[in-house]
Amino acid sequence: MWKEVIFYSLKNNGVTVAAGKSVEGGVIGDDGKFYSNKLSDEFKRLEYKTFISEKTENKILRGELNSKKIVIGGHSPEINDMSTKYWIKETIKINPDGTRVVRYKKIFPDGTSSKLKKSIIFPETWSDTDIINSIKQIGDTEAIGVRVRDQTTIHRGTVNGVQIEVMKIGSYTTSGYPTGGYPMDLIKNDFIPIIFE
């Protein structure tokens, strides 16, 4: 909830700054956005090359089960009706960029399955290598927002007509996915938008 004075705990010398107050490299505006006039120490990590661990790569492509038996990630076009590892309940829509919105379950070797998951799948013509390289490419762009509680940055861009969002902590990717043309609302998801001037 936005109040007249909004406090954010930015990692600038460990101080908490209020809306409208200058911080190193920019200012927090009354609208809650971080306006940058240079890359402060807080954002110098953006200079690093994006890294995707094998575990995160598998999560992005195949999906990973969390403690509630819900799949997180899972955006490879190999998630389809031809695979015995997935059950596609429905294709909700095919977006103009070729991405598909589907509801599916991941099937495990013991015959059990995950709960239904709604996900946006990359276009059928994209290989896993295309996906990972595109996520790295977008991850190497300037952040458009930062989530203060865990210092996650979000990056957004388009590769071959497909809009992609990437989240990172430092240079380490935590997630990457196609938006299907419907990018995340940053403020609703606790990100402070960054505007580079």
Q: Name the residue range of residue 96's domain.
A: 63-128
- Between 27 and 45, residue with greater pLDDT: 27
**Is residue 183 assigned to a domain?**
no
Domains of the chain: total: 2
Tell me: do 72 and 116 sit in the same domain: yes
For the cut 50, the answer to whether the pLDDT of residue 19 exceeds it is: no
The reply to whether 87 and 35 lie within a common domain is: no
Backbone dihedral angles phi then psi of residue 55, each to the nearest 5 degrees: -65, -45
- DSSP state for residue 107 in the 8-state scheme: B
Name the band, by pLDDT with cuts 50, 70 and 90, for residue 23.
very low
Give the residue among 173, 185, 188 at the shortest CA–CA distance from 73. Answer: 173
Top pLDDT among 69 and 120 is at 120
> Domain ends where: 128, 143, 170?
128
* Domain presence at residue 89: yes
Model confidence pLDDT, tens digit, residues 98-117: 999 999 999 988 988 999 99
Dihedral of alpha carbons 135, 139, 144, 149, sign:
positive
Q: Is residue 34 part of a domain?
A: yes
Q: Is residue 16 part of a domain?
A: yes
Give the torsion sign (CA, 151, 185, 166, 142): negative
Q: What is the pLDDT of residues 78-93, one digit of tens each?
A: 999 899 999 999 999 9
| 77 and 112, same domain (yes or no) | yes
Please say if the pLDDT value at position 134 is more than 60: yes
Six-digit token string for 16: 């908490």
User: pLDDT value at position 195?
Assistant: 77
> Average pLDDT in the 43-70 region?
82
The answer to whether the beta carbons of residues 154 and 179 sit under 8 Å apart is no
Instruction: Say yes or no: 20 and 67 in one domain.
Output: no
Q: What percent of the chain has pLDDT over 70?
A: 75
Task: Examine the domain organization and report whether 31 and 67 are in the same domain.
Answer: no
Residue 156 counted as domain residue: no
The residue ranges of DSSP E strands in 123-169, in sequence order, are 145-147, 152-159, 162-169
- Within a domain: 68: yes
pLDDT at residue number 5: 25
> Does the pLDDT value for residue 137 go beyond 80?
yes
Q: What pairs with residue 194 in β-bridges?
A: 34
User: Of 103, 128, 153, which residue is a domain's last?
Assistant: 128
Are 50 and 68 in contact by the 8 Å Cβ rule? The answer is no
pLDDT of residue 126: 97
Higher pLDDT, 71 or 27: 71
Regarding whether 74 and 26 lie in a shared domain, the answer is no
Please state the pTM of the whole predicted model: 0.74
- Residue bearing the bigger pLDDT, 112 or 25: 112
Instruction: Please indicate, yes or no, if residue 95 is contained in any of the structural domains.
Output: yes
Helix%, strand%, coil% for the chain, nearest 5: 15, 40, 45
Residue 79 within a domain: yes
